Amino acid sequence: MNTKLQVLVIDDDAVVGRSFDRVLSDKGYEVSTALNGEQALATMENRNFDVVFTDIKMPGMDGLEVTERIKARCPWTPVVVITGYGTQANEVRASVLGANGFVRKPLTPEMIESVTLKALHGAGQVKDQADLHVEPVATAAAVQSKAEVAKPAPKSVGLALKNIGLFFASPFIALGYVIALPFVGFYMFVKLAREARAKR
């Protein structure tokens, strides 16, 4: 049985949803759209989706909260965060919440197609592109998009935690140097005095 894979796009800009529909509907997907998180969660009460895309900046519930709620309800459903306000902090938080990808606008048709495939491959829902009747994507934009989606979350989280730790530890390290400096100076003074006395 050849059923269409279900895609949900959550974005308060209707143009984004239409872009996904235009790109993916000819590739074997059925695309549904929601203008906010509440509408999306209500839609997911009655339907199962194979992949969900969500914007970050939306009125009411933001995309990161939407991601958290979807993952709590359907942890097996891949969620890709799309945004025009990409920051490392948002990317780390999205990874911690279980997002399967994080891509920045503007999205090209090639990026939309390749990121969708990446999310489905990662979730094990698609064995190969022949299942979707999708031609291979080999553009520079797609390669860049795949590299962004494939960033390992643990490394990003570890780096962020390390930087936070260094930030809070730096005043104590500096204080340690200030306290130790007189003792080091006194030790050097005594050492030099002894060497001078030994030469006599």
Strands (E), 50-159: 51-55, 79-83, 101-104
pLDDT at residue 129 tops 90 = no
pLDDT at 99 over 50: yes
Omega of the bond leading into 182 within 30 degrees of 0 (cis): no
How much is the pLDDT for 124?
A: 56
Which domain, by its residues, includes 195?
153-200
Same structural domain, 94 and 137? yes
* Beta-bridge partners for 53: 9, 80
Q: What's residue 123's pLDDT?
A: 57
* In a shared domain, residues 34 and 131: yes
Q: Which of 151, 168, 190 is the last residue of a domain?
A: 151
- Same domain for 130 and 160, yes or no, is no
Residue 131 predicted with pLDDT over 50: no
- Residue 99 gets the label, from left (phi > 0), alpha (psi -120 to 50) or beta, of beta
Q: Which two tokens stand for residue 69?
A: 């709620």
Same-domain check for residues 135 and 158? no
Report how many domains make up the chain: 2
Q: Please count the helices (runs of H) and the strands (runs of E) in the chain.
A: 7, 5
The per-residue pLDDT for 77 is: 93
Residue type, 186: F
User: pLDDT: is 159 or 1 the higher one?
Assistant: 159
Higher pLDDT, 185 or 45: 45
Q: How far apart are the first and last CA of the chain?
A: 100
Same domain, 106 and 171: no
Asked if the model's pLDDT at residue 104 lies above 50, the reply is yes
pLDDT at 185: 61
Q: Are residues 102 and 33 in the same domain?
A: yes
Q: What pLDDT is recorded for position 30?
A: 95
User: Are 122 and 191 contained in the same domain?
Assistant: no
Q: Which two tokens stand for residue 130?
A: 């022949």
For residue 150, the model assigns a pLDDT of 42
- End-of-domain residue from the set 112, 130, 151: 151
Highest mean pLDDT among 29-38, 77-86, 190-199: 29-38
Give the pLDDT score at 101: 87
**What whole-number distance in Å separates Cα of residue 180 and Cα of residue 114?**
57
Clarify whether residues 101 and 167 are in a common domain: no
Residue predicted with more confidence, 171 or 47: 47
CATH code for the domain of 99: 3.40.50.2300
In this structure, the answer to whether residues 28 and 112 fall within a common structural domain is yes
pLDDT top residue among 90 and 169: 90
Do residues 175 and 140 both lie within one domain?
A: no
The whole-chain average pLDDT of the chain stands at 76
